[in-house]
Structure 1
Amino acid sequence: MQAEIEKLIVKFLNRTISNEEEALLEKWLANPVNEHVFHDYVQVHYAISMDCIDDLRLEQSKDRLILPEIEKVRSLDHNVKPKGFSIKPYLKYAAVLLVVGGGILLLLSKANEMENPVEVVSESEVIIAPGTDRAILTLEDGSQINLENDSIYEADGVKASRAMITYNATKGKISSEVQYNYLTIPRGGQFYVELADGTKVWLNSESQLKYPKNFILGETRKVELVYGEAYFDVSPSTEHQGSRFKVVNEDREIEVLGTKFNVKAYKDDINALTTLEEGLVRLDVDDEEFVIKPGQQVDVNKLTHEASVKYVDVASEVAWKDGVFSFKGKPLKEIMKTLSRWYDVNVVFEDKSLETVRFNGVIRKDKKLEDVLGIMKSRKINTYRIENKTIILN
């Protein structure tokens, strides 16, 4: 499946798809072969099927408002094939799943092959809100600007607000000295920046990017992901006199011509991951060079420097920048680490066996942590409690 089609499906399920994008998806689905591909993809990757809806413990749900909507979906006659495939019925499935537990898509445990259905539990008294757009911009003189709420900064070609930063460099400008800015995203934050060359960068929670305020015309455009996770949509080298774009992370260097890729290298992670969505990327690790294609991921062990290349579900890997966490066969320990960064909480596993339980599912990032934990609560995760900003699983 093409990466662009996967992206449209993810947007469709998250209900962020535009009318134009939906029309493209409908056109692709006009082919009966693609219709089957769509069915399989949705069911395998997102567990959206009538069987999964039946597995919800509706009788234990405290959210009675969603019951009529689920019954409407159940009443559809799925044995009658419509004239011309439409994604509208699937939109109804997505709508139902999106409102379960206050906006959480179905999250299923694969560890026990559906023996432990998902529970929807009532909201906890403790409310931990999701992260927001916020960052700290450090200018070349060392001064810092806190970007959150209604803060605005505009000076010398830089426009910054609570959600994004843009750099408007003068075309053809040649600088004899490169001046660097730092953009630091705290736990519970995310941010978007458009660099002076037009490259777009999305930064995840607990990340830091070092980048030039202006690039030197004709020379390699180099930025540094100091730590964390970032998605890059690189301005092509053809628009910059052949100047290539490089991302440095510790002792690793990623070189591109013009592409879309994701780099994940958190300080507390042993592995650094580079995932390519479009274009071509060359990754240098010590004296070893890797050239990866769209759909591939380079996994580098930061301790041993051993590296491997594999194919991954790119749409799932980069869904975070579109307001979604997508977990495909991920262990609970990894999932909770991701959630801890976004909700700025600590996580303790009293029952260590829970760390390796694997889940499939999609979670919208704009929901309270209690809703997320509620939908994950099953027989495998018997109980959890919240003490201050620490989540204890047992």
Structure 2
Amino acid sequence: MNHNISMDLITKFLTHQASADELDTLDEWLRDDENEKLFNDYVQTNYAIDYQMRQFDANKLKSKLQDLMDEEKRTFRIKKTRNIISYSAAAVVSVLLCTSYFFKDSIFSKTIETKPRIISNNIVVGSDKATLTLEDGSQIVLGKGNAYETQNVHSSGEKIVYREDSSNSEKEVYNFLTIPRGGQFHLVLSDGTEVWLNSESQLKYPVYFKKGKTREVELVYGEGYFAVSPSTEHEGSKFVVSNQSQEIEVLGTEFNMKAYKGDINIYTTLVEGKVVVSTTNGKRELLPSQQANLNLNDNSMDIASVNVYNEISWKDGVFSFRRKPLGEIMTVLSRWYDMDVVFENPDLEKAGFNGVLDKDQNIEDILNTIKNFKVIKDYEIINKTILLK
């Protein structure tokens, strides 16, 4: 088996896309000790799963890999199929977290070269929290331990759910859901559409949608993942997500939209279905796995194929960074951990990093991962500010 094929099979295995025949081939390949270094180097280079990735017991790694391969092959045989499995983005999340199992069960040593300087660390992991602003301007804090209930609205503290209007009222009543830095929240609109809002985001939406009319919400700023209830279930009414610079028309689909304040680009990524992105320069249709990049400086739009999982993993509790510059990565992390980041050397902002990181990790674990991959030399933490060196 040549080098390229072996790397392809390892990748397929780690993402649960390998057929039974391919698993057998990889099994046999790993039995050769000469392939050990190839396997180890590839995993270390491409999968920054945890900060313990310094040295590891290759035999133990191969043993754990063998156990999982055996289990996968048993699953194939039980199902009596040898077709390649294609998982949804949600399933891939569990696969990557399972991959992290490789790197967290004492496979890699936990040694760290130098101890970072931490004067005081007040940085905490983000959580489910939001502020609901009602039509009359009153505000309700939502989050763990803060239940909210009215006749047609219910919040458990992790999400807020709106029920349909049984009275068929013609009055338009709007609410705002605002997510602070260090927060996220799940919203179910009255038509059944689900929205996951990322940190530092705000959505404006009607409490009820008028039957037969266009269902419209506004992503005022920030990032949201939309799973839209099909128009066929709402008398053919289309669904529109707008902001100040573009409008997205959908008939029933799933997509991600990122439009943070201060950014010069708005990104719309289609997961499944079909959307039409409209700007003052015209309309563009997206196909699944395509992303529209609207440049606000000149209102131009580019469309490209992307790895969807990397774009939407945030909603499932994972940061997936693939060839991302450190400056962009730290912007994402600063929103989730509600912290400030200072680069001692501005050139560090351009340094690239690949990694799949659990959002429940404390910030020190993530910084140690980045440090041990030689992206940074060291770091300091003072209250809620990180200095990268």
Note if 1:158 corresponds to 2:148: no
1:332 Cα deviation from its structure 2 partner: 0.5
Alignment partners' CA distance in 2, 1:223 and 1:210: 6
CA deviations 1:35-89 (Å, max 9, x no partner) are 999xxxxxxxxxx953356779xxxx8899x977x752245696xx969736999
Native 8 Å contact 1:29 1:85 kept in 2: no
One-letter identity of the residue aligned with 2:100: A
Corresponding residue number in structure 2 for 1:351? 345
Alignment partners' CA distance in 2, 1:336 and 1:385: 14
Native 8 Å contact 1:192 1:200 kept in 2: yes
One-letter identity of the residue aligned with 1:208: Q
Alignment partners' CA distance in 1, 2:169 and 2:107: 53
Aligned length: 339
Corresponding residue number in structure 2 for 1:130? 125
Corresponding residue number in structure 1 for 2:255? 261
Q: What's the C-alpha RMSD, in Å, of the aligned pairs?
A: 3.6
Native 8 Å contact 2:23 2:73 kept in 1: no
1:304 Cα deviation from its structure 2 partner: 1.6
Corresponding residue number in structure 1 for 2:40? 50
Note if 1:317 corresponds to 2:311: yes
Native 8 Å contact 2:159 2:185 kept in 1: yes
Instruction: Assess, with a 3 A threshold, how the Cα gap between structure 1 residues 35 and 181 changes in structure 2: closer, same or farther.
Output: farther
Instruction: Assess, with a 3 A threshold, how the Cα gap between structure 1 residues 75 and 359 changes in structure 2: closer, same or farther.
Output: same
Percent identical pairs in the alignment equals 45
Instruction: Assess, with a 3 A threshold, how the Cα gap between structure 1 residues 276 and 383 changes in structure 2: closer, same or farther.
Output: same
Q: What SS class does the counterpart of residue 121 from structure 2 fall into?
A: coil
TM-score by length of 1: 0.76
Native 8 Å contact 1:345 1:390 kept in 2: yes
Note if 1:363 corresponds to 2:369: no
Corresponding residue number in structure 2 for 1:95? 101
CA deviations 1:76-117 (Å, max 9, x no partner) are 696xx9697369999875303246899x9xxxxxxxxxxxxx
One-letter identity of the residue aligned with 1:32: D
Query: Which moves more between the two structures, 379-388 or 191-200?
Result: 379-388
One-letter identity of the residue aligned with 1:387: I
Native 8 Å contact 1:101 1:375 kept in 2: no
Native 8 Å contact 1:13 1:91 kept in 2: no
Alignment partners' CA distance in 2, 1:83 and 1:163: 35
Q: What SS class does the counterpart of residue 96 from structure 1 fall into?
A: helix
| Unpaired runs of at least 5, structure 1 | 1-9, 15-24, 38-47, 105-117
CA deviations 1:198-223 (Å, max 9, x no partner) are 00000000000000000000000000
Corresponding residue number in structure 2 for 1:207? 201
Corresponding residue number in structure 1 for 2:81? none
Native 8 Å contact 2:353 2:375 kept in 1: no
TM-score by length of 2: 0.77
Native 8 Å contact 1:134 1:191 kept in 2: yes
One-letter identity of the residue aligned with 1:292: L
Corresponding residue number in structure 2 for 1:108? none
Native 8 Å contact 2:96 2:356 kept in 1: no
Q: What SS class does the counterpart of residue 134 from structure 1 fall into?
A: strand
Corresponding residue number in structure 2 for 1:85? 73
Alignment partners' CA distance in 2, 1:93 and 1:220: 43
Corresponding residue number in structure 1 for 2:226? 232
Q: What SS class does the counterpart of residue 377 from structure 1 fall into?
A: helix
| Unpaired runs of at least 5, structure 2 | 1-10, 27-37, 77-94
Instruction: Assess, with a 3 A threshold, how the Cα gap between structure 1 residues 388 and 99 changes in structure 2: closer, same or farther.
Output: farther
Instruction: Assess, with a 3 A threshold, how the Cα gap between structure 1 residues 133 and 289 changes in structure 2: closer, same or farther.
Output: same
Instruction: Assess, with a 3 A threshold, how the Cα gap between structure 1 residues 101 and 344 changes in structure 2: closer, same or farther.
Output: farther
Corresponding residue number in structure 1 for 2:185? 191
Match for 1:218 among 204, 212, 220? Answer: 212
Match for 1:330 among 307, 324, 327? Answer: 324
